Amino acid sequence: QDGPQRKKRKSEVGEVDKQLDILAIGTAVGSILLYSTVKGELQSKLDGGHDSRVNCVRWHQDNCCLYSCSEDKHIVEWNTQTCKVKCKWKGDNSSVTCLCISPDGKMLLSAGRTIKLWDLETKEVYRHFTGHATSVSSLMFTTVKPMNESIPFDGITGLYFLSGAIHDRLLSVWYIRSDRKEKNAVMSFAVTDEPIFVDLTVSEVKEEPVKLAVVCRDGQLHLFEHILNGYCKKPLTSNCTIQIATPGNDGDSTPKPVPILAAAFCTDKQSLLLVYGNTSQPVIEKVSLNTSEPHICLVRDIQKVLSLKTDAALTKVKTPVVNSDTKVLVPGIPGHSTAVKTPASGKEKKKNKRKPGETEESIEERLGALDIDVSKVKTPGGLPQTDSLAVLLVQGLESNDAEILNKVLNTRKENIVKNTVARMPIYAVIPLLHELTKRLQGNPYSASLMVRWLKSVFTLHASYLSTLPDLIPQLGMLYQLMESRVKTLQKLSRLHGRLFILASQVAASEAVQDVPEVNQTAKLVYEDESSEEEGSDDEMIADKDSDENWDEDEEKEEQSDEQDMTVEKEINGDSDLEPENESEEE
């Protein structure tokens, strides 16, 4: 719609808000829808307040004000006239599941597991209460005024309120004191199962008892009537229990219980509106109370009222009527075009039955009868394909079967790993990451294989993982593991370098030592049978040689001396007297 028209519509809502019955509906995505029951259409939509599922919505006494709480731990105050957030604050460390506004409209009760009472002006916690072990599902004030009228009333002190939680069979009553000492419940009401719907009549006078109607998950309604006058140690049991059952005739003699879905007190506080039967088509009935009897069983023939019969559908199997014109497709492999055959007649069925003497047909023959090519069914080489590995992996993760997981995760081929991860269903990604994290902490050999799977998961499913709100706690262990491994990588690489140098030096020294030494001793010595004479002749020859050598040496020395003398004379400028004398000297 256009802008001006929409503005007009909003102002219209503000004017006639008091006359209209508007339903505020919280959604799982965090938005709140305002639905007009009078007009039968959506009035407006409140966005931008919550990031997660809305758990509870409460109207304030001021018609334009609405409070909501969510899984995102926040409480939001809305202005329904402008459809904008007036105030937003953190209500708890975990999700806030329930809200309740005080009778004077100045205080707000909120609960996750613990219960907090907030001052709506300052948005600060006024009181803390212990709460329940599980998430609180219902909160409501049981009194409007304090029982002790002598104390001046400030609007909240002296009031009682009631709380119920999921999987808790006790409804607790709390008392708001002026001091902060007492944080525990003053009394409790015991029921047979988890309460799913609670309604009560508010006590306005001191002597007036509080009437409480609690519908449990087992389909029973418990009625309590009690005057709130302080502490009570033992849990109070119900004054009256109401059940509804079928009459048990029309062929079925056993009466069957009919679950009560909800109950609410009428304005006269003496009669109840009961909602029972099936959630898709419930029956609403007004019942006057008679609490003198502890157990009341109302007989209602619900089968005549309800058109939906579930028992018949569950017990009887209907066979479809097949005409001769219709053709039935034989089941085959997905994507394979099987031949269309007409349904087999009764005679053929009799023929198919095997007689004691006959041999059973092989699977290949049966597949041939179905016109399916056997070669397409068989995998080449008998190796498992990636689609079957993906199915195996999912089965192993769901059943936590170590044998199946080992078979799949020990695959070494990159393309098989990649295809298997690609064909996995989305919901199996987080369980696979947890399994890989567990295996990474073990044997280093298996860790090297797991890294391939991790790489494929992060590559192919990064977009899905980025959409998860709790991704950080899910992958926290894996991140810490990788961080610790990476920290030691630098030290390990240094150690690896040093060890490599040492190993290469040791190998080099061993190679040098391995070179064989040259043996200096003669391998063969030949000795001739010589006489002493031959030996003396050798000695004589040796002496002769030495004498000749000696003479030659002397001549060489003389020549060198003469040459030196002539050089000196030439330097001094002297010359020999006569060539004759020279020749003589020569």
Higher pLDDT, 12 or 229: 229
The verdict on residue 350 lying in a domain is no
What is the domain-level CATH number for residue 150?
A: 2.130.10.10
What is the pLDDT, as a whole number, of residue 304?
59
305-309, 315-319, 386-390: which range is least confident on average? 305-309
How many helices (H) and strands (E) would you count in the chain? 16, 26
How many whole angstroms separate alpha carbon 142 and alpha carbon 175? 10
Q: What is the mean pLDDT of residues 390-418?
A: 87
pLDDT tens-digit map of 27-36 = 999 999 999 8
More confident residue, 109 or 386: 109
Residue-wise pLDDT for 84-93, tens only, equals 999 999 999 9
Residues linked to residue 242 through DSSP beta bridges, in sequence order: 221, 296
The confidence band for 528, taking pLDDT boundaries of 50, 70 and 90, is: confident
Taking residues 101-112, report their average pLDDT.
92
The per-residue pLDDT for 90 is 92
Confidence bin at 542 (pLDDT 50/70/90)? low
pLDDT digits (tens, 9 = 90+) for 135-181: 999 999 988 888 777 677 788 888 899 999 999 999 999 998 887 77
Phi-psi region of 321 (alpha: psi -120 to 50; beta: other; left: phi over 0): beta
- pLDDT classification of 484: cutoffs 50, 70, 90: confident
pLDDT of 493 strictly over 80: yes
What's the gap between Cα 315 and its chain centre? Answer: 38
SS3 429: helix
Task: For residue 304, give the 3-state DSSP assignment.
Answer: helix
Confidence of residue 24 (pLDDT cuts 50, 70, 90): very high
When divided into structural domains, the chain yields a total of: 1
Confirm if 261 and 276 have CB atoms less than 8 A apart. Answer: yes
Q: How far apart are CA 57 and CA 70, in angstroms?
A: 9
User: Quick one: pLDDT at residue 351?
Assistant: 47
Tokens 């020990």 sit on residue: 410
β-pair partners for 287 = 272
Mark residue 536 as left, alpha or beta (left: phi above 0; alpha: psi -120 to 50; beta: remaining).
Answer: alpha
Asked if residue 141 is part of any domain, the answer here is yes
Confidence at 3, pLDDT banded by 50, 70, 90? very low
* pLDDT tens-digit map of 192-246: 999 999 999 988 777 788 999 999 999 999 999 988 888 888 999 998 999 999 8
* CA–CA separation, 454 and 390 (whole Å): 15
Range of the domain at 229: 97-299
Q: Which of 262, 216, 224, 219 is nearest to 243 (CA)?
A: 219
Long-range pairs of 107-115 with CB within 8 A, sequence gap ≥ 24:
107/155, 107/156, 108/67, 108/75, 109/139, 109/141, 109/161, 110/69, 110/75, 111/136, 111/139, 111/163, 112/73, 112/136, 113/165, 115/139, 115/163, 115/174
* Contact by Cβ (8 Å): 173, 231: no
Any domain includes 351:
no
d(C-alpha 176, C-alpha 183), whole Å: 9
In a domain, 291, yes or no: yes
7-21, 95-109, 509-523, 556-570: segment of lowest average pLDDT = 7-21
- At 410, is the pLDDT very low, low, confident or very high (cuts 50, 70, 90)? confident
Residues 453-476: pLDDT tens digits?
Answer: 889 998 988 888 888 888 888 888
Assess if residue 459 is contained within a domain.
no
**Mean pLDDT, to the nearest integer, of 376-397?**
66
Answer yes or no: is 285 within a domain: yes
At 10, the amino acid letter reads K
Of the candidate ranges 62-71, 127-136, 319-328, the one whose mean pLDDT is the lowest: 319-328
- 226 DSSP β-pair partners: 210
Note the maximum CA span of the chain: 181
Radius of gyration, alpha carbons of the chain: 52
The answer to the question of residue 149 being in a domain is yes
Residue 498 within any structural domain of the chain: no
Long-range contacts of 392-400 (CB under 8 A, 24+ apart): 393/420, 393/424, 393/428, 393/432, 394/424, 394/425, 394/428, 397/428, 397/431, 397/432, 397/435, 398/428, 398/431
| Mean pLDDT confidence for 22-41 | 91
